[in-house]
Protein backbone atom coordinates (compact mmCIF):
# COMPACT_ATOMS: atom_id res chain seq x y z
CA UNK A 1 0.00 0.00 0.00
CA UNK A 2 1.19 3.48 -0.72
CA UNK A 3 1.37 6.61 1.28
CA UNK A 4 0.22 9.90 -0.25
CA UNK A 5 3.19 12.20 -0.36
CA UNK A 6 3.01 15.87 -1.25
CA UNK A 7 0.91 17.82 -3.71
CA UNK A 8 3.47 17.02 -6.41
CA UNK A 9 3.09 13.29 -5.86
CA UNK A 10 0.18 10.95 -6.17
CA UNK A 11 -0.72 7.72 -4.45
CA UNK A 12 0.05 4.61 -6.44
CA UNK A 13 -0.28 1.66 -4.19
CA UNK A 14 2.05 1.13 -1.31
CA UNK A 15 4.16 4.08 -2.37
CA UNK A 16 4.04 7.42 -4.07
CA UNK A 17 5.02 7.87 -7.68
CA UNK A 18 6.41 11.03 -9.24
CA UNK A 19 4.23 13.65 -10.88
CA UNK A 20 2.32 11.73 -13.58
CA UNK A 21 2.03 14.69 -15.96
CA UNK A 22 4.87 13.33 -18.07
CA UNK A 23 3.28 9.89 -18.41
CA UNK A 24 0.47 8.84 -20.76
CA UNK A 25 -2.97 9.15 -19.24
CA UNK A 26 -4.03 5.82 -17.70
CA UNK A 27 -6.92 3.95 -19.21
CA UNK A 28 -8.92 0.89 -18.19
CA UNK A 29 -7.86 -2.57 -19.28
CA UNK A 30 -10.11 -3.67 -22.10
CA UNK A 31 -10.01 -7.34 -22.88
CA UNK A 32 -6.22 -7.28 -23.21
CA UNK A 33 -4.11 -10.30 -22.51
CA UNK A 34 -2.35 -10.37 -19.16
CA UNK A 35 0.99 -11.10 -20.76
CA UNK A 36 2.49 -14.33 -22.06
CA UNK A 37 0.18 -17.16 -20.94
CA UNK A 38 -1.84 -14.71 -18.88
CA UNK A 39 -5.62 -14.41 -18.86
CA UNK A 40 -7.86 -11.70 -20.25
CA UNK A 41 -7.87 -8.60 -18.07
CA UNK A 42 -11.36 -7.54 -16.95
CA UNK A 43 -13.00 -4.14 -16.99
CA UNK A 44 -14.47 -2.56 -13.88
CA UNK A 45 -14.48 -3.80 -10.32
CA UNK A 46 -14.31 -7.52 -9.61
CA UNK A 47 -15.41 -8.97 -6.25
CA UNK A 48 -12.73 -10.62 -4.12
CA UNK A 49 -12.79 -12.10 -0.63
CA UNK A 50 -11.89 -8.83 1.10
CA UNK A 51 -13.74 -6.37 -1.14
CA UNK A 52 -13.08 -5.48 -4.78
CA UNK A 53 -10.18 -5.40 -7.21
CA UNK A 54 -9.86 -3.25 -10.32
CA UNK A 55 -7.18 -3.21 -13.01
CA UNK A 56 -6.08 -0.05 -14.78
CA UNK A 57 -3.78 -0.22 -17.78
CA UNK A 58 -1.59 2.66 -18.86
CA UNK A 59 -2.41 3.77 -22.41
CA UNK A 60 0.14 2.56 -24.93
CA UNK A 61 2.11 0.45 -22.46
CA UNK A 62 2.14 -2.91 -20.72
CA UNK A 63 1.82 -1.33 -17.26
CA UNK A 64 -1.14 -2.46 -15.16
CA UNK A 65 -1.96 -1.02 -11.74
CA UNK A 66 -3.98 -3.20 -9.38
CA UNK A 67 -6.42 -1.41 -7.08
CA UNK A 68 -7.73 -3.17 -3.98
CA UNK A 69 -10.81 -1.51 -2.51
CA UNK A 70 -9.95 1.60 -4.50
CA UNK A 71 -6.36 1.82 -3.24
CA UNK A 72 -3.44 1.19 -5.64
CA UNK A 73 -1.79 -1.97 -4.38
CA UNK A 74 0.52 -3.35 -7.09
CA UNK A 75 1.89 -2.30 -10.45
CA UNK A 76 3.17 -4.72 -13.09
CA UNK A 77 4.78 -4.48 -16.50
CA UNK A 78 3.23 -7.43 -18.29
CA UNK A 79 6.18 -7.77 -20.66
CA UNK A 80 9.06 -7.07 -18.25
CA UNK A 81 9.07 -8.72 -14.81
CA UNK A 82 12.30 -6.94 -13.83
CA UNK A 83 10.51 -3.57 -13.89
CA UNK A 84 9.34 -2.22 -10.53
CA UNK A 85 7.19 0.92 -10.41
CA UNK A 86 6.91 1.53 -6.68
CA UNK A 87 9.88 3.25 -5.07
CA UNK A 88 9.74 1.17 -1.90
CA UNK A 89 10.00 -2.01 -3.99
CA UNK A 90 13.01 -0.54 -5.79
CA UNK A 91 14.56 0.09 -2.38
CA UNK A 92 13.86 -3.49 -1.30
CA UNK A 93 15.36 -4.75 -4.57
CA UNK A 94 18.52 -2.73 -3.91
CA UNK A 95 18.90 -4.51 -0.57
CA UNK A 96 18.33 -7.95 -2.11
CA UNK A 97 20.93 -7.15 -4.77
CA UNK A 98 23.58 -6.95 -2.03
CA UNK A 99 23.09 -10.63 -1.14
CA UNK A 100 25.50 -13.17 -2.65
CA UNK A 101 24.76 -14.18 -6.27
CA UNK A 102 22.50 -17.13 -6.98
CA UNK A 103 18.97 -18.34 -6.27
CA UNK A 104 17.22 -17.43 -3.04
CA UNK A 105 14.46 -18.88 -0.91
CA UNK A 106 11.99 -16.10 -0.15
CA UNK A 107 8.64 -15.60 1.55
CA UNK A 108 6.40 -12.66 0.68
CA UNK A 109 3.75 -11.78 3.26
CA UNK A 110 1.08 -9.92 1.32
CA UNK A 111 1.03 -11.32 -2.22
CA UNK A 112 -1.28 -8.91 -4.09
CA UNK A 113 -0.19 -9.16 -7.77
CA UNK A 114 3.30 -10.51 -6.94
CA UNK A 115 5.37 -7.69 -8.48
CA UNK A 116 8.40 -8.31 -6.24
CA UNK A 117 8.26 -12.12 -6.60
CA UNK A 118 8.22 -11.68 -10.41
CA UNK A 119 11.29 -9.46 -10.16
CA UNK A 120 13.15 -11.90 -7.94
CA UNK A 121 12.31 -14.83 -10.21
CA UNK A 122 13.65 -12.92 -13.22
CA UNK A 123 16.83 -11.66 -11.54
CA UNK A 124 17.63 -14.76 -9.48
CA UNK A 125 16.81 -17.80 -11.67
CA UNK A 126 16.22 -20.95 -9.67
CA UNK A 127 14.81 -19.12 -6.66
CA UNK A 128 11.99 -20.76 -4.70
CA UNK A 129 9.37 -18.39 -3.39
CA UNK A 130 6.17 -18.48 -1.37
CA UNK A 131 3.68 -15.60 -1.55
CA UNK A 132 1.02 -15.50 1.15
CA UNK A 133 -2.24 -13.57 1.10
CA UNK A 134 -5.40 -13.81 3.17
CA UNK A 135 -7.65 -13.08 0.15
CA UNK A 136 -8.41 -16.42 -1.51
CA UNK A 137 -10.23 -14.99 -4.52
CA UNK A 138 -7.50 -12.44 -5.20
CA UNK A 139 -4.90 -15.20 -5.14
CA UNK A 140 -6.92 -17.18 -7.67
CA UNK A 141 -7.45 -14.19 -9.95
CA UNK A 142 -3.85 -12.95 -10.08
CA UNK A 143 -2.72 -16.45 -11.03
CA UNK A 144 -5.34 -16.43 -13.79
CA UNK A 145 -4.72 -12.88 -15.06
CA UNK A 146 -0.95 -12.59 -14.94
CA UNK A 147 1.94 -14.69 -16.19
CA UNK A 148 3.31 -15.58 -12.76
CA UNK A 149 6.06 -18.14 -12.25
CA UNK A 150 4.74 -21.61 -11.48
CA UNK A 151 5.48 -23.83 -8.49
CA UNK A 152 8.10 -24.53 -7.21
CA UNK A 153 9.45 -21.19 -8.48
CA UNK A 154 6.48 -19.37 -6.94
CA UNK A 155 3.83 -20.93 -4.73
CA UNK A 156 0.76 -18.94 -3.73
CA UNK A 157 -0.83 -19.74 -0.39
CA UNK A 158 -4.03 -18.46 1.21
CA UNK A 159 -3.12 -17.97 4.85
CA UNK A 160 -2.78 -15.43 7.62
CA UNK A 161 0.70 -13.92 7.48
CA UNK A 162 1.64 -14.62 11.09
CA UNK A 163 0.43 -18.21 10.86
CA UNK A 164 2.42 -18.64 7.66
CA UNK A 165 5.65 -17.58 9.37
CA UNK A 166 4.92 -19.83 12.34
CA UNK A 167 4.59 -22.79 9.96
CA UNK A 168 8.04 -22.32 8.38
CA UNK A 169 11.05 -24.40 9.46
CA UNK A 170 13.97 -22.82 11.28
CA UNK A 171 16.68 -21.26 9.09
CA UNK A 172 14.76 -21.99 5.90
CA UNK A 173 14.61 -18.57 4.18
CA UNK A 174 17.06 -16.09 2.71
CA UNK A 175 14.51 -13.28 2.43
CA UNK A 176 11.26 -12.51 4.25
CA UNK A 177 9.21 -9.56 2.95
CA UNK A 178 6.30 -8.01 4.85
CA UNK A 179 3.98 -5.90 2.73
CA UNK A 180 0.66 -6.43 4.49
CA UNK A 181 -2.01 -3.79 5.00
CA UNK A 182 -5.54 -3.70 6.33
CA UNK A 183 -6.74 -0.46 4.83
CA UNK A 184 -3.80 1.92 5.24
CA UNK A 185 -2.10 0.27 8.22
CA UNK A 186 -0.15 -2.90 8.88
CA UNK A 187 -1.98 -5.25 11.27
CA UNK A 188 -0.54 -4.72 14.74
CA UNK A 189 0.26 -8.41 15.23
CA UNK A 190 2.80 -8.16 12.38
CA UNK A 191 4.77 -5.37 14.08
CA UNK A 192 5.54 -6.89 17.48
CA UNK A 193 8.68 -8.27 19.08
CA UNK A 194 7.13 -11.72 19.22
CA UNK A 195 6.48 -11.70 15.46
CA UNK A 196 9.92 -10.30 14.65
CA UNK A 197 11.54 -13.00 16.79
CA UNK A 198 9.70 -15.64 14.77
CA UNK A 199 10.89 -14.03 11.52
CA UNK A 200 14.46 -14.15 12.85
CA UNK A 201 13.96 -17.84 13.57
CA UNK A 202 13.14 -18.69 9.95
CA UNK A 203 15.95 -16.61 8.42
CA UNK A 204 19.20 -18.29 7.49
CA UNK A 205 22.52 -16.74 8.51
CA UNK A 206 23.05 -13.95 6.03
CA UNK A 207 19.31 -13.61 5.39
CA UNK A 208 17.35 -10.38 5.47
CA UNK A 209 13.92 -9.19 6.60
CA UNK A 210 12.28 -6.33 4.66
CA UNK A 211 9.13 -4.63 5.95
CA UNK A 212 7.09 -1.87 4.32
CA UNK A 213 5.84 0.64 6.89
CA UNK A 214 3.58 3.53 5.85
CA UNK A 215 3.93 6.34 8.36
CA UNK A 216 3.49 10.07 8.85
CA UNK A 217 5.54 12.67 10.74
CA UNK A 218 7.08 12.24 13.27
CA UNK A 219 7.41 8.59 12.11
CA UNK A 220 6.21 7.23 15.44
CA UNK A 221 5.37 3.79 14.05
CA UNK A 222 8.54 3.43 11.97
CA UNK A 223 10.68 4.39 14.98
CA UNK A 224 8.85 1.89 17.20
CA UNK A 225 9.18 -0.85 14.59
CA UNK A 226 12.90 -0.16 14.23
CA UNK A 227 13.32 -0.29 18.02
CA UNK A 228 11.41 -3.58 18.04
CA UNK A 229 13.55 -5.12 15.31
CA UNK A 230 16.73 -4.07 17.12
CA UNK A 231 15.70 -6.31 20.01
CA UNK A 232 14.90 -9.27 17.75
CA UNK A 233 17.66 -9.06 15.13
CA UNK A 234 21.38 -8.42 15.05
CA UNK A 235 21.44 -5.36 12.81
CA UNK A 236 18.74 -2.95 11.61
CA UNK A 237 18.45 -0.01 9.22
CA UNK A 238 15.63 2.02 7.73
CA UNK A 239 15.35 3.32 4.17
CA UNK A 240 13.15 6.14 2.89
CA UNK A 241 13.10 9.18 0.67
CA UNK A 242 14.76 12.18 2.36
CA UNK A 243 11.50 14.13 2.54
CA UNK A 244 9.89 11.33 4.55
CA UNK A 245 12.85 11.09 6.92
CA UNK A 246 12.83 14.85 7.47
CA UNK A 247 9.21 14.70 8.54
CA UNK A 248 7.88 16.65 5.59
CA UNK A 249 5.22 14.19 4.52
CA UNK A 250 3.49 10.86 4.90
CA UNK A 251 5.37 8.13 3.09
CA UNK A 252 6.86 4.67 3.00
CA UNK A 253 9.70 3.52 5.21
CA UNK A 254 11.44 0.22 4.47
CA UNK A 255 12.75 -1.52 7.57
CA UNK A 256 15.77 -3.76 6.94
CA UNK A 257 16.92 -6.31 9.52
CA UNK A 258 19.47 -9.12 9.50
CA UNK A 259 19.93 -11.77 12.19
CA UNK A 260 23.58 -10.96 12.98
CA UNK A 261 25.95 -8.06 12.41
CA UNK A 262 28.62 -10.24 10.81
CA UNK A 263 26.29 -11.59 8.11
CA UNK A 264 23.68 -10.37 5.69
CA UNK A 265 23.69 -7.53 3.19
CA UNK A 266 26.34 -5.34 4.83
CA UNK A 267 24.15 -2.57 6.18
CA UNK A 268 27.17 -0.60 7.39
CA UNK A 269 29.07 -0.74 4.08
CA UNK A 270 29.07 2.01 1.44
CA UNK A 271 27.67 -0.18 -1.34
CA UNK A 272 24.05 -0.29 -0.19
CA UNK A 273 23.88 3.41 0.67
CA UNK A 274 25.35 4.24 -2.74
CA UNK A 275 22.87 2.00 -4.54
CA UNK A 276 19.95 3.65 -2.75
CA UNK A 277 21.21 7.14 -3.58
CA UNK A 278 21.51 6.08 -7.23
CA UNK A 279 17.85 5.10 -7.63
CA UNK A 280 15.62 7.17 -9.92
CA UNK A 281 14.09 8.59 -6.74
CA UNK A 282 17.07 8.68 -4.35
CA UNK A 283 16.62 7.16 -0.91
CA UNK A 284 18.62 7.41 2.32
CA UNK A 285 19.86 4.61 4.55
CA UNK A 286 19.68 5.33 8.30
CA UNK A 287 21.85 2.98 10.33
CA UNK A 288 24.13 2.74 13.34
CA UNK A 289 24.42 5.77 15.60
CA UNK A 290 22.05 7.78 13.41
CA UNK A 291 19.36 5.14 13.84
CA UNK A 292 20.07 4.98 17.57
CA UNK A 293 19.29 8.67 17.80
CA UNK A 294 16.18 8.31 15.68
CA UNK A 295 14.66 5.52 17.79
CA UNK A 296 15.66 6.97 21.18
CA UNK A 297 12.69 6.83 23.52
CA UNK A 298 10.74 4.34 21.38
CA UNK A 299 9.66 1.19 23.18
CA UNK A 300 9.46 -2.20 21.50
CA UNK A 301 5.99 -3.19 20.34
CA UNK A 302 4.60 -6.26 22.11
CA UNK A 303 1.75 -8.69 21.73
CA UNK A 304 -1.11 -8.01 24.15
CA UNK A 305 -0.93 -10.18 27.27
CA UNK A 306 -2.67 -13.51 26.99
CA UNK A 307 -5.81 -13.89 29.08
CA UNK A 308 -6.01 -17.26 30.74
CB-side exposure of 114: number of CA atoms within 13 Å?
Answer: 32
Q: Which residue has the higher pLDDT, 184 or 213?
A: 213
Q: Please, what sign has the CA dihedral across residues 54, 58, 61, 63?
A: negative
- Ranges assigned E (strand) in the chain: 10-11, 16-17, 26-28, 46-48, 51-58, 63-68, 71-77, 105-109, 128-133, 154-158, 173-178, 203-215, 235-240, 251-258, 284-287
Range 226-231, long-range pairs (CB < 8 A, 24+ positions): 226/255, 226/291, 226/294, 226/295, 226/298, 227/295, 227/298, 227/299, 227/300, 228/191, 228/192, 228/193, 228/196, 228/300, 228/301, 229/196, 229/255, 229/257, 230/295, 231/193, 231/196, 231/300
> In the predicted model, what is the mean pLDDT of residues 197-221?
96
> In the predicted model, what is the mean pLDDT of residues 59-63?
89
Note the pLDDT of residue 59: 86
The maximal CA–CA distance of the chain, rounded, in angstroms, is 59
Partner residues linked to 129 by β-bridges: 106, 154
> What is the DSSP pairing of strand 105-109 with strand 128-133?
parallel
Note the pLDDT of residue 284: 98
Note the pLDDT of residue 198: 98
Q: How many residues does the chain have?
A: 308
- What dihedral angle (degrees, nearest 10) is formed by the CA atoms of 91, 93, 96, 102? -170
- pLDDT by residue (tens digit) across 84-96? 999 999 999 999 9
Note the pLDDT of residue 109: 99
Note the pLDDT of residue 262: 58
Give the chain's mean pLDDT.
Answer: 88
Taking Cα atoms as reference points, which of 231, 206, 228 lies closest to residue 101?
206
Q: Is 111 exposed, middle or buried (0-12, 13-18, 19+ CB in 10 A)?
A: buried
9 — pLDDT class (breaks 50, 70, 90): very low
DSSP 165: H
CA distances from 43 to 29, 56, 63, 75, 172 (A): 6, 8, 15, 16, 40
Note the pLDDT of residue 58: 87
Q: Which residue has the higher pLDDT, 201 or 185?
A: 201
- pLDDT by residue (tens digit) across 80-135? 999 999 999 999 999 999 999 999 999 999 999 999 999 999 999 999 999 999 99
CA distance 31 to 27: 12
Q: Which residue has the higher pLDDT, 130 or 5?
A: 130
In the chain, the percentage of residues whose pLDDT exceeds 90 is 77
CA distance 242 to 282: 8
The CATH number given to 81-295 is 3.40.50.150
Instruction: Indicate left, alpha or beta for 247 from its phi (over 0: left) and psi (-120 to 50: alpha).
Output: left
* Per-residue pLDDT at 54 exceeds 60: yes
Note the pLDDT of residue 263: 64
CA distance 150 to 56: 24
Note the pLDDT of residue 209: 98
- pLDDT by residue (tens digit) across 245-304? 998 899 999 999 998 765 666 788 889 999 999 999 999 999 999 999 999 999 999 999
CA distances from 106 to 124, 258, 289 (A): 11, 14, 30
Is the previous residue joined to 156 through a cis bond, with omega within 30 degrees of 0?
A: no
CA distance 39 to 5: 34
Q: Which residue has the higher pLDDT, 186 or 72?
A: 186
- pLDDT by residue (tens digit) across 136-162? 999 999 999 999 999 999 999 999 999
Give the Cβ contact number of residue 254 at 10 Å: 27
Amino acid sequence: MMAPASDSLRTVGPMARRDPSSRPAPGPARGRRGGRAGGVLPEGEVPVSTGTVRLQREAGSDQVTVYLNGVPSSSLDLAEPRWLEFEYMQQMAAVVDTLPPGPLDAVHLGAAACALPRWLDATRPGSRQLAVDVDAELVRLVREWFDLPRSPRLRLRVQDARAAVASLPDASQDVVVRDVFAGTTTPAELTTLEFATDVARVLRPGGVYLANCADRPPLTLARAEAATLRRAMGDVAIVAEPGVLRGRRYGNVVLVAVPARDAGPGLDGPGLARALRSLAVPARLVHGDELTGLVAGSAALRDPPAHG
